[in-house]
């Protein structure tokens, strides 16, 4: 009685495979492995085709759609057909063998013996068909691993390994079944052995390729170890200090990020030091934090009221929340502030309630928050880069109000500048916000470093770049 095993539940099918029955047998099991592999590969193709970042896959979208169609319209249906065919054929072969083993009439016994061998030839053809389809799947899986969604490479590798396992099973089935033939079938068996030898060579090449994919994943992890070790070394080193050198910590982090920039930014990795000063990216891709932005974010006060804050870090849950009610520059400074907490401080939950980016200007006595602001300033505005950018704009080692420098601000006089800038802070802010000087137009210093005008002005003063 023919049984449609593919209409059964997975549980029923597994019970049947493990119940000592002749069918479905090893050929059907190999086909089933191929079917599972086909679906795993198809999953990655679907994810890639529907990616929210389609520009990342323009180089392979044609192949993705082609492979998807081949798997769903041809390869998977063929494997499903062979799954059932192998089960039916082997059931028939077993029935003939049983009849042969109890037959007493010599002539009919000879007929049944030859019939069983003829049916066994069909049982040999089916694994060849299964193996060829699985070889195709392995080749597709290899392409998918290299070109499609990187985060789904586990699925690609399962598809690749499963297809190869099915191939290996088919090779074993064929070699086992061919042993049943004698010298009178020499040319047939020689042809089968030649075919299976060629199949095994193909399998060995594909298997070596699969091993190489596993090595790629291992190498990628090994490449991350210096980054992970470096971050943990920084945390251990600076958290153990009672008086933290926040500028040195920021510099050490920058050096570590620069060395590992191609690992952190796999595509379009930064080409300049300024491009690595991305606190949100470092929190996410290096520190393992989730970051989210909300229009309003409050924390409970002691009197049960809610205080609106610029940012919050929850270290046990690896979470940073940043308020969007402030400018993009303030949000960036807040992200760097929270990055400082992640590196330097042990307190599980901390919040930044001052959105003014005034590193070093706090009067509330909270030294932890002071350190975080100082770190944010040093990280976002490194001394070397600020001095270089300042000199490129003003062509001076420091700015001082003189006839020459005043005139370069659109023909102004010293008196004009002093009337506009009543003190050093006002002059620093003007320089931080300037977008033209000496007939040239450029991005302001505050825009270049992604900070507020106030934060940039304070940094210029810290570096003694402004005289008044």
Q: Would the CA dihedral through 84, 90, 94, 96 be positive or negative? A: positive
Q: Which residue has the tokens 């597709």?
A: 140
Q: Would the CA dihedral through 449, 372, 311, 428 be positive or negative? A: negative
Query: How many Cβ atoms sit within 10 Å of the Cβ of residue 115?
Result: 16
Mean pLDDT by 10 residues, the chain (468 residues): 58 62 76 95 96 91 96 96 84 73 76 75 89 97 95 94 96 90 87 94 96 92 92 93 92 96 88 95 94 74 65 92 91 95 90 59 69 96 97 95 95 95 96 96 97 96 96
Please indicate, yes or no, whether residues 95 and 209 belong to a single structural domain of this protein.
Answer: yes
Alpha helices (H) in 271-366, listed in sequence order: 279-285, 328-344
Please indicate, yes or no, whether residues 100 and 217 belong to a single structural domain of this protein.
Answer: yes
The Cα 280–Cα 324 span in angstroms is 14
Element (H, E) at 164: helix 153-178
Question: Strand 298-300 vs strand 306-308: parallel, antiparallel, or unpaired?
Answer: antiparallel
Domain boundary among 380, 408, 431: 380
Residue 403's pLDDT is 96
Does residue 186 fall inside a structural domain?
yes
Residue 356's pLDDT is 59
- 453 Cβ partners below 8 Å, 6+ apart? 429, 432, 433, 446
Please indicate, yes or no, whether residues 211 and 107 belong to a single structural domain of this protein.
Answer: yes
Does residue 338 fall inside a structural domain?
yes
Q: CB-hemisphere CA count at 13 Å for 440? A: 9
Please indicate, yes or no, whether residues 295 and 195 belong to a single structural domain of this protein.
Answer: no
3-state secondary structure of 14: helix
What domain range is 55 assigned to? 5-223
Q: CB-hemisphere CA count at 13 Å for 156? A: 26
Please indicate, yes or no, whether residues 132 and 36 belong to a single structural domain of this protein.
Answer: yes
Does residue 230 fall inside a structural domain?
no
The Cα 24–Cα 283 span in angstroms is 52
Does residue 29 fall inside a structural domain?
yes
Please indicate, yes or no, whether residues 176 and 197 belong to a single structural domain of this protein.
Answer: yes
Please indicate, yes or no, whether residues 123 and 10 belong to a single structural domain of this protein.
Answer: yes
Per the structure, the count of domains in the chain is 3
Residue 355's pLDDT is 60
Residue 310's pLDDT is 84
User: Is the Cβ–Cβ distance between 452 and 382 less than 8 Å?
Assistant: no
> How far, CA to CA in Å, does 94 sit from each of 97, 120, 152, 409?
5, 9, 42, 97
Please indicate, yes or no, whether residues 178 and 280 belong to a single structural domain of this protein.
Answer: no
Query: How many Cβ atoms sit within 10 Å of the Cβ of residue 256?
Result: 21
- 361 Cβ partners below 8 Å, 6+ apart? 458
The Cα 369–Cα 326 span in angstroms is 18
Domain boundary among 171, 188, 223: 223
User: Is the Cβ–Cβ distance between 289 and 342 less than 8 Å?
Assistant: yes
Model pTM?
0.70
Identify the DSSP state of 466: E
Please indicate, yes or no, whether residues 183 and 281 belong to a single structural domain of this protein.
Answer: no
Does residue 232 fall inside a structural domain?
no
């Amino acid at each position: 009685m023919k049984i449609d095993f593919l209409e059964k539940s997975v549980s029923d099918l597994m019970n049947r495979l493990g119940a000592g029955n002749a069918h479905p047998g090893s050929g059907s099991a190999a086909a089933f492995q191929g079917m599972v592999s086909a679906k795993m590969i198809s999953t990655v193709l679907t994810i890639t085709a529907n990616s929210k970042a389609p520009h990342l896959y323009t180089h392979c979208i044609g192949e993705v759609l082609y492979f998807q169609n081949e798997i769903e319209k041809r390869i998977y249906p063929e494997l499903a057909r062979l799954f059932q065919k192998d089960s039916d054929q082997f059931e028939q072969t077993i029935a003939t063998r049983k009849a042969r083993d109890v037959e007493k009439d010599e002539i009919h016994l000879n007929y049944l013996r030859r019939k069983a061998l003829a049916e066994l030839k069909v049982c040999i053809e089916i694994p060849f068909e299964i193996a060829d389809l699985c070889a195709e799947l392995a080749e597709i899986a290899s392409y998918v691993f290299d070109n499609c969604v990187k985060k789904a490479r586990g699925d690609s590798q399962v598809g690749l390994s499963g297809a190869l396992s099915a191939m290996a099973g088919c090779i074993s089935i064929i070699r086992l079944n061919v042993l049943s033939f004698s010298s009178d079938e020499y040319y047939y068996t020689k042809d089968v052995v030649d075919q299976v030898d060629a199949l095994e060579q193909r399998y060995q090449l594909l298997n070596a390729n699969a091993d190489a994919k596993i090595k790629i994943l291992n190498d990628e992890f090994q490449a991350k170890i210096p980054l992970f070790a470096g971050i943990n070394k920084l945390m251990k080193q600076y958290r153990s200090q009672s008086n933290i050198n926040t500028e040195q910590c920021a510099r050490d982090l920058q050096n570590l990020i620069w060395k590992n920039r191609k690992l952190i930014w796999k595509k379009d990795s930064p080409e300049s030091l300024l491009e690595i000063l991305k606190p949100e990216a470092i929190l996410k891709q290096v520190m393992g934090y989730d970051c989210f932005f909300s229009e309003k974010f409050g924390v409970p006060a002691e009197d049960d009221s809610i205080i609106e804050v610029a940012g919050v870090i929850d270290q046990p849950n690896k979470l940073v929340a940043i308020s969007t009610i402030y400018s993009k520059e303030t949000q960036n400074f807040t992200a760097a502030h929270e990055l400082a907490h992640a590196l330097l401080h042990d307190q599980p939950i901390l919040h930044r309630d001052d959105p003014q980016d005034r590193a070093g200007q706090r009067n509330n006595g909270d030294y932890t928050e002071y350190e975080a602001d100082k770190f944010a300033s040093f990280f976002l505005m490194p001394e070397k880069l600020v001095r270089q950018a300042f000199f490129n704009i003003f062509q001076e080692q420091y700015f001082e109000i003189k006839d020459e420098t005043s005139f370069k601000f659109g023909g102004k006089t010293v008196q004009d500048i002093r009337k506009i800038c009543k003190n050093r802070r006002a002059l620093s802010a003007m320089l931080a916000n300037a977008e033209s000087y000496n007939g040239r137009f450029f991005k302001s210093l505050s825009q270049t470093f992604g900070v507020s005008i106030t934060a940039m002005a304070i940094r210029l003063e810290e570096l003694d770049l402004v005289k008044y």
